[in-house]
Structure 1
């Protein structure tokens, strides 16, 4: 299935983004379109995630950060939230072995205190199993919110200032970056080169507000379960034609 990408880049692709962030949106609407319950779409979305992860790994992407569940998603219907919280358990049983076989390393960022025990255990087991892998990092943003992340970082830095560990003059962009949840990633890959959002929505929705300062954005009307290798290639081709100046001429 992935032979086309193992030894060559997708057509016309000149550059590969090293870190890609994906807002996996549209699962519920995908299911509704098929007259199925919303949870049916979340399950289909996991199949799409495995395909995109393996393709990313094959073409040389270093980090794939996926927005799996935001701090605002707790306001969704209780049965839907409960189903989503069970997905990591299914993910570990069905998908992690294949990812592990392909040298994918799994990491998780977000607040863990509200996560059910079985959810947390499945995530920790996946991280533990793949911790020594040296390939692509699949980074789950789970119970994650960008503003909450920044607030937490500011509190930690302020505490260090009050304890005399840091002075206000010591606070640099790097110090702030070192206190964000992406600090667990290799420093060179902390900030996404490309952020993709599916389903036609054109906003970040509290996803990596600090890290995305110079990211390229790609929005598509395709619902996440239908975001296949062909659609992913379109995003990569678009990115390869962008000129990233980082404020320079």
Structure 2
């Protein structure tokens, strides 16, 4: 073992030993950013970058299990990403499909899709439905795979669903307007019934949310990590938890 690796392990163990698991976030959202830039810096192809990012996911979920995290939302493909050239998009979708099937086959996690299924290719839709169905009874971390996800799209879909629900009941727009509150919309989000994210992590050094969980992240804490997603290490994850535990959450008060 190289000295550098030994020092890294000792440091990671030290950070982990000082963490209070009771103070760990229960729901973590992760913006998996930097696959293409990692590939370019490493002299690899874009597809290799996406695959390296996919390979990191189960490792990170293992860290979440060790630190008592209960829900993880992984932003794997945005609605904007669907506009990428077919030569890049098709391999990326294949990698996502294989990754989701792998998560389901692992048997440790309950997979749930968040996003607009209708805008995805039929094969991708089928895989997401299959994974969700196969893991519905697993008592492990709930893993939201955000594929074909956009924050604006989610809120639009929630409002549309709410309007259609009340239209079926014969409620007029005026009657709905009289009683409408935030809870009505929250009940129609992709993540309905789940706790909002306590912590949102974005890799690659970019300091913006890009529309990730716009509604749910109103009171979330944010942690921006400089490393590209494929290079994200356990110590980076532990630092995010340490930073989160040191903050005083005010929830807007």
Q: TM-score, normalised by structure 2?
A: 0.86
* Pair 1:130 & 2:135 matched: yes
CA RMSD of aligned residues (A): 1.9
Tell me if structure 1 keeps the 8 A contact 2:111–2:144: yes
Aligned partner (choices 24, 35, 59) of residue 51 of structure 1: 59
Aligned equivalent of 1:29: 37
Aligned-partner Cα distance in 2 for 1:215–1:74: 27
Aligned-partner Cα distance in 2 for 1:92–1:157: 29
* Pair 1:96 & 2:101 matched: no
Tell me if structure 2 keeps the 8 A contact 1:20–1:63: yes
Tell me if structure 1 keeps the 8 A contact 2:104–2:110: no
**Change in 2 beyond 3 A, CA 1:95/1:151:** closer
Cα deviations across residues 156-200 of structure 1 (Å, max 9, x unaligned)? 3334455317632321211110011111x43xx1x1000000001
Aligned-partner Cα distance in 1 for 2:103–2:110: 13
3-state secondary structure, aligned to 2:123: helix
* Pair 1:13 & 2:22 matched: no
Tell me if structure 2 keeps the 8 A contact 1:88–1:122: no
Aligned-partner Cα distance in 2 for 1:201–1:92: 26
3-state secondary structure, aligned to 2:61: helix
**Change in 2 beyond 3 A, CA 1:245/1:87:** same
Cα deviations across residues 194-230 of structure 1 (Å, max 9, x unaligned)? 0000001111111111100000000011000011211
Aligned-partner Cα distance in 1 for 2:130–2:156: 29
Higher helix share: 2
Aligned-partner Cα distance in 1 for 2:100–2:145: 13
